[in-house]
Each structure stands twice: as structure tokens, then as C-alpha cells.
Structure 1
Amino acid sequence: MHTVAVLALDQVIPFDLATPLEVFTRVRLPDGRHPYRVRVCGPGARIPAAGFVITAPWGLEGLADADTVIVPGRAEAAPPPGEEVLEALRAAAARGTRIASICAGAFDLALTGLLDGLAATTHWAAAAELARRFPAVEVCPDVLYVDNGQLLTSAGASAGLDLCLHMVRRDFGSAVAADAARLAVTPLEREGGQAQFIVHPQPPVPRGSALEPVLAWLEEHLDEELTLDVMARRSGMSGRTFSRRFREQTGTTPLQWLLRARIRRAQFLLENTDHTIERIADQAGFGSPTAFRERFKRVAGTTPYGYRAAFRSRERS
């Protein structure tokens, strides 16, 4: 029997808490057995959530013999977890326990230091803040979930469902996971590398920052060859200084920002014009249709043609 401990902390998001309960309690093996034992654990017996109180039958000792620990997301204004919670997570990791976060649960997991040096994700709207607060974590804002083996993180609430099904598939195979997906009325096929399908706004910079005119200029010249040296010269800074200040103020690197800006330009053109893929590749600054297709699929999780078919403006359809 595989024990899943779901950690309930103050102001936990109810959907994030319910998702692992819904998935793991419904899993059945071919012989009808339930392979998972699910428990809700917390630092106290009564956990305040949005508009009601959750009862946690298990204390933090419930993490001690768990095979998997789930850290759900919490409200933005939630207080940081106590040191006893962070120590319980670190101790679980030291024992080899699999630990997964859902949505903003990545912030609590990152506080333990366990994500340092690893790739991780969270809801796209919080990705820049996660990168700013935890620079040792490689934040991937454009994926559904990241599996590092022992440590896993997911994006928004629906991506948490994808992550839970992914763990079921890892534990008991695709057939068992597919049955669990059918019970949850969701497809099993969404892989972790698939994008969150959001046209992300770029992270804001402080008003009056020296980066503001540089970013405005970049948006107007996406179809040109833009290297780090070009951007640094435009800002009047050295390459090293520019890169450091850029990351401090946006939570991402200049080249990552540029790639996302070009993807967003391409998304707009795919949705609102009849331009060919070749022309869009040139307008968005990808250099060649082949490079455009490869990078677009890596970031958006689908081909330019697939994106156009799914998101084309209704007025043009």
C-alpha cells in the first residue's frame, strides 16, 4: 500500500487540496485493489481555508512513513509555514520520500531549499515572483509540470491533476492511470512539457527603471537579430551588469524574455492573420521556419499549425 500524505496549511486552496484526494482515492488496480492510502496532515487539527475550516486527522508525524507528500497551493496572503513544517518536509526528502507541489505550493517547497539547483514550475502568474524570491531555482513558467524524480512541481490547479495522474502512471503504468483519468473525466495525454496555453504578459519592471525604454525598443525590433551584446549596448550597460539587473527586475534572463516576446508576437499573428508560417517566422524574428517551429513547439507545446487551429480568432474563422 502506497501512502500519500496531503499537507494542509493555513489558507490552503481547497481545489488544490481536493485534487490529490480525488485522484489517488479513485485509483484501482486490475484486480480491484486500492493501491493508495491517502491522509490529510497538518501542523494543527483545524486548518482555516477559504470560507471554512478543514480538519486534518493526522499531524506532521503523518509524513514520517508516507511514500508521497503533496504540498497544495495556498492563498497569496497566507503566512509562511512554520519551521516545524519545513523540517518535516526536509526530513521526508532525506528519507527518499517523493514530494510534489501543486500551483503555489512550489513557494512552500522552495522555502525548504530542496528545489535549489532544480527546475520547477508554478502558476504562470506567480512564476516571476517565484524566480525573484528563489534565484537558485530554475523556474519554467511555460510547462504543466516538472518531474525531477523525487521532487515534482505543477502549474495551476488543473495542472495539479495532470501531475497526480503522471505519478499514478509512474507507479502503476498507463492502463491504471488511464482508468483514473476516465473517472476524473480528464485526458491522460497532457504531458508535463505541454505549455499552459496562456499568452503570458511579460513580467513588469519598476516604473522609471532603465530597462523600460530598452524593453519598449525590443518589442519594436523583434524581427531583427538581437543578441545579449546588442541589448546591453542599447541599455548603456556591460553585458554582465545588464543580465544581472534584468534578472533582478523581471525574474528571467534577457534571452528568455526575448524568446517569450517572440512567441507572443507569433501567437498574435497566428490568431489574427492569414500570414504563412514562413512570413510569421520572419516577422517574429526566428530567422527560419524550422527554428520557429522547433522553438514554438518547445514553449507552446504544440506546432504553429496546431496553435492556429485551436486559437484562431473567431471573427476570422
Structure 2
Amino acid sequence: MGTAFYFNDDYPGFGSTPFNPPLAKTGMVEITSASGHEFEVKFGVPLKDPVFYLGSLGSTVTFPQGTQVTRVSGDTEFKVVDGNKVRGKPFQPPPGTTALTDSNGIVSLKGNFTSVKFTLTPNPDSTISREGVFLQIGGMVGQQLEFVHWRSADLNGATGGLGSVRLTGPMGTAFYFNDEYPGFGSTPFNPPLAKTGMVEITSASGHEFEVKFGVPLKDPVFYLGSLGSTVTFPQGTQVTRVSGDTEFKVVDGNKVRGKPFQPPPGTTALTDSNGIVSLKGNFTSVKFTLTPNPDSTISREGVFLQIGGTPQSLATSVPATEMATA
């Protein structure tokens, strides 16, 4: 370790431009770079997608092979190289300026971790044998999906609580406001929701919707029941099929398509297609259309909807519970 430590959440250095999201005041520990320097951080609870804030990095941080490392933000020379390494460039600003030394930025590691090993060593072409790097670590602790508690609806939209949610677009007539809808607890929905809220949206030519979230929602999930139509998200939206029956499919990258189906009378089989999709990223709003399939003879239908995700106001940034040089 180095000699610079902030134990009272009063370090301001991670609030500057290269760090997005910035931390106006937080804790910090200084780790040192030199040949053979190895570190391990252990977490008292599993940490999801941990983030490493690295300040004054003129060296190379190397995580184990196979670790999925993503550059979140940083200055020009702050880079992820070879998939598992984070490299900065030594830089000394002119005297009297407020520019930061070396490189600065944030990386994230994909997955759930109870510990992380890494090395901090000089760059291959470096003439500096030893330096200090400022570190803070955060991530998601104990976070589960939260779902909208729908409170009101009419023919033009619905409102609910997950922060504050407003859905606008052509609605149906089936609404569950007391978290008592059981339909998303059946087999096509994994994870199932035994009881939850639900609003019915309608499919027809030209039907457009927008849902706005009161707080940013990470990786929102759409539970879609009785889908015999096509949901189309904007081009570039990364849509992933989470679960569903055979005919519940993601097509063309940004569309979710179901197939109309009427079960025999007296059976408990579900109508049409049913399943869950997720959207990758952080969203404050999502636009989509709900229209008949290209080969459909059905001009209008109702689709049951629930939306969930992880509100970013609930994301917990925590310092490492234990750090030790190996």
C-alpha cells in the first residue's frame, strides 16, 4: 500500500471529469505499482458488476484471464487492453495547474464476485519503477429486480410506483393495481412473479408507447403475456430473450414477436405467446410500438404487461471490506 488514505468519505478526487458517474466525496486508499505487486480484495457479501475507480494511473492493472473488463469512463490515455488489462499513461501537469496527474477513469467487471485478484505493475515501456494509484471500489449489493406497482390507468396510459412511472399509449381494460395478478407466475415466465401488478396494452396499426421512469432503471425487463403481435423497440436497443414459450422470439435484434394461439375450451393453457425480454443498459424512458405481425389477420389485440429492473438510486456503492497484498 501507499500512504494516502481517506477513511471519512471526504476524498474529492473521484468527482472530476474523467469519472462518470462522479463521486463528489468518498473513501480512497492508495495502492502501489512495482514489479511483482499482487493484490486481492475480498468482499463480505457478493458484489455484482464491481467498479474500480482508478486515479493517477501510470501503470497497468491486470485482472485474471477471462475477466470481462469494460471501460466505463476516463481520459484519452485510460484504456482497456488485451481484454483484461487497464493501462494508464504517466503525465505531470504544468506547475500551478489543476490538471490531474497520469491517467484517470473507471472500469467495471462483469459478474458476481466474492473476491478479485489483480496485479499493478509498470507499463512495458515505463522508466518508472514505482508509483501510487488511488483506488475506490463499488458495486451492487443485494440488489434484486424491482417491479412497477401500478396505481391508475385509463385508455391513454397508466401510472405506477418504481420511483415514479408513467406509461403512455393505447390501453386495454384489464388492470391489476394491488399486486394480485397471478398470470406471470406460470411456466413461460422465469423468474416467475406469483403475484404482481399488470396493465393491458393494445396492439393495432400505428400503436406507439413510451414508458418514463422517475429514476434511471438498469437492464429493464418486460413481462409480456398473451402476445400475438410484435413489440418493436428503437433500432440499436439490445433486446435479450430471458424466457418464454416456443413461439416467443426476439427477431431482427430489436423486435419481440409472439404467435396467436387459442387453447381448447376448458383447458388452463395460456393464450398466444408468453415470456420475458430484457433491455441492456440504463434507461430513463423506453419507446416501443405494438403492432400486428406481418402475416396477421388480427387487427387488434390486448397484451398483458409488467415492467421491472434495478433503480439506480438503489445502487449501493461500497468500499472494499478487505484489501491485502498477496
Normalised by the length of structure 2, the TM-score is: 0.23
Q: Looking at both structures, which has the greater relative contact order when contacts are Cα pairs under 8 Å and sequence separation is at least 6?
A: 2
- Look at both structures and tell me which one has the larger radius of gyration over its CA atoms: 2
Q: Which has the higher strand share?
A: 2
Q: Which has the higher helix share?
A: 1
Normalised by the length of structure 1, the TM-score is: 0.23
